[in-house]
Amino acid sequence: MADLTPLLAFRWSPRAFDPAARLTEDETASLLEAARWAPSAGNAQPWRFALGHREDSAWKRILVSLPDGDQRWARHAAALLLAAHTGGDPERAAYDLGQAVAHLTVQATALGLHVHQLTRFDRVGLATELDLAVGIRPAVVVAIGRLGDPFALPDDLRDRETRLRRRRPLDSLLLT
Ligand SMILES: Cc1cc2nc3c(=O)[nH]c(=O)nc-3n(C[C@H](O)[C@H](O)[C@H](O)COP(=O)(O)O)c2cc1C
């Protein structure tokens, strides 16, 4: 495998989060700043965020919007972030938002944190619960925290947590 910067090589999407860990104010500010400085088409910056810290009301609202199976592990995340976009050209906005979340993810690795994104959640219910303005489109929930003990997970989640991670070979990605 070709060399990768450790910021990318050490990134992965865990389910075992440390239930005692919390994000500091500085960590929270760094994560959001990383997203804020992402590039976007026409510098539109169509990303919007709702951030909850463990046990606060935004965190609880985001948690219950997830499927029961994902709540089992996401409830240990120190923070739950709803990443949304402002629509307009939805394809462009979704692309830009993805870059902003990718920036946040790299910053998380730099801070010794881990991130697990989820697109399966109740978008309509969460938009209502968070009283989001019309036109704000919830796209992804981002669980953020410190790594926990995989052996504390239920059996099925532990198996997925310890499974070998795979990617398609590079030559299958190249179109020409
Ligand atoms: C946009 C997006 C949506 C995802 N949605 C889910 C999800 O709903 N549930 C889940 O368990 N993981 C979800 N994931 C995590 C992926 O399954 C994970 O990134 C992928 O398997 C690669 O593993 P890695 O991140 O550890 O490299 C999502 C990831 C991304 C980027």
Q: What domains appear along the chain, each with residue ranges and CATH number?
A: 21-162 (3.40.109.10)
Q: What pLDDT is recorded for position 123?
A: 98
Q: Which of 95, 103, 116 to mutate to test the pocket of ligand 1 (most atoms within 8 A of CB)?
A: 116
The confidence score (pLDDT) of residue 76 equals 98
| pTM value surpassing 0.95 | yes
DSSP helix/strand/coil, 162: helix
Give the separation between CA 90 and CA 88, rounded to whole angstroms.
Answer: 6
Q: Give distance in angstroms: CA of 81 to centre of ligand 1.
A: 15
163 in contact with ligand 1, CB cutoff 6 A: no
C-alpha 35 – ligand 1 centre gap (Å): 18
For residue range 13-26, list pLDDT tens digits in order: 999 999 999 999 99
Beta carbons of 83 and 50 less than 8 angstroms apart: no
Kindly tell me if the per-residue pLDDT of 1 is higher than 90: no
Q: Rounded to an integer, what distance in angstroms lies between the CA atom of residue 112 and that of residue 7?
A: 10
Task: Count the neighbouring beta carbons within 10 Å of the beta carbon of residue 53.
Answer: 15
- Judged by DSSP in three states, 83 sits in strand
Q: Which of 49, 47, 24 is nearest to 126 (CA)?
A: 49
Is any atom of ligand 1 closer than 6 Å to the C-beta of 5? no
Residue 140 CB–ligand 1 contact under 6 Å: yes
* pLDDT tens sequence across 90-147: 999 999 999 999 999 999 999 999 999 999 999 999 999 999 999 999 999 999 999 9
Please say if the pLDDT value at position 167 is more than 90. Answer: yes
Q: What is the pLDDT of residue 158?
A: 96
Best residue among 117, 120, 147 to mutate for probing ligand 1's pocket (most ligand atoms within 8 Å of CB) is: 117
pLDDT at res. 133: 97
Rounded CA-CA distance 171/152 in Å is 38
Q: Does the Cβ of 119 fall within 6 Å of ligand 1?
A: yes
Tell me the pLDDT tens digit for each residue of 23-78.
Answer: 999 999 999 999 999 999 999 999 999 999 999 999 999 999 999 999 999 999 99
Q: Is the confidence at residue 153, as pLDDT, over 90? A: yes
Distances from the Cα of 14 to the Cαs of 6, 43, 125, in angstroms?
Answer: 17, 32, 26
Q: How far is the CA of 17 from the centre of ligand 1 (A)?
A: 15
Do the Cβ atoms of 82 and 49 come closer than 8 Å? yes
